[in-house]
Amino acid sequence: MARLLSIGFILSFVTSASIAVIVLPYVALITYLPGVVLRGLGWMSLGRGRSRGLYTATGLLVLLLGIGTFGAFVFGYAVERMFNPIYAIVAMWTVYTLAEFASYVSLRGTSSAFLVASINVIAVALILLLVGSLRGLEEAVMAAEVLLRPAFAIMAVSALAAAVGSLRA
């Protein structure tokens, strides 16, 4: 259970870091979905192992909304002229990221790394502040190169800390 979660967070670190440094942003398309699936399954496994509904709910939200986020990004990017997917993407991501934040806070006693992982809430705030000014997904992708780098860097640090912390959960 802890290994699934840790590997999922390592993939999430790669996803966020690749976007934060804009070296290989397309790496994120490869690492995002497996990272979400492994994190979702890892949280659900942790929930069963500890008999904690919060972790199980977090896992379900990460799994379902993470896959939904990926689908909205891929499908939305292809048909952006019909609808603007950016708000759906950010809404789904925000919900599961805040669920993970709640789980980090709950696990803070198992590892101080979860306190560091809790900085993901700052990334949520930054993205919510910025998304209101974006008109479309293409503009959001372009803005990520300049405006969202700090948010993705914060998410990378959070994911790395959560990977370390999850090995002790």
Percent share of the chain, pLDDT over 90: 57
Instruction: Centre a 10 Å sphere on the Cβ of residue 128 and count the other Cβ atoms it contains.
Output: 13
- In the predicted model, what is the mean pLDDT of the chain? 86
Read off the pLDDT of each residue in 117-132 and give the average, rounded to a whole number.
88
pLDDT band at 169 (very low <50, low <70, confident <90, very high): confident
State the pLDDT at residue 108.
93
Q: Residue 115 above 70 pLDDT? A: yes
State the pLDDT at residue 130.
80
Backbone angles phi, psi at 64, to 5 degrees: -70, -50
Read off the pLDDT of each residue in 78-107 and give the average, rounded to a whole number.
85
Lowest mean pLDDT among 2-6, 41-45, 59-63, 139-143: 139-143
Q: What is the per-residue burial (b if ≥16 Cβ within 10 Å, else e) of 79-111?
A: eeeeebbbebbbebbbbbbebbbebbebbbeeb
Angle between the 86-107 and 137-144 helix axes, to the nearest 10 degrees? 50
- Select the more confidently predicted residue: 78 or 6: 6
pTM here is 0.83
State the pLDDT at residue 149.
84
Lowest mean pLDDT among 5-19, 92-106, 145-159: 145-159
- Select the more confidently predicted residue: 83 or 161: 161
Q: How far apart are CA 28 and CA 121, in angstroms?
A: 20
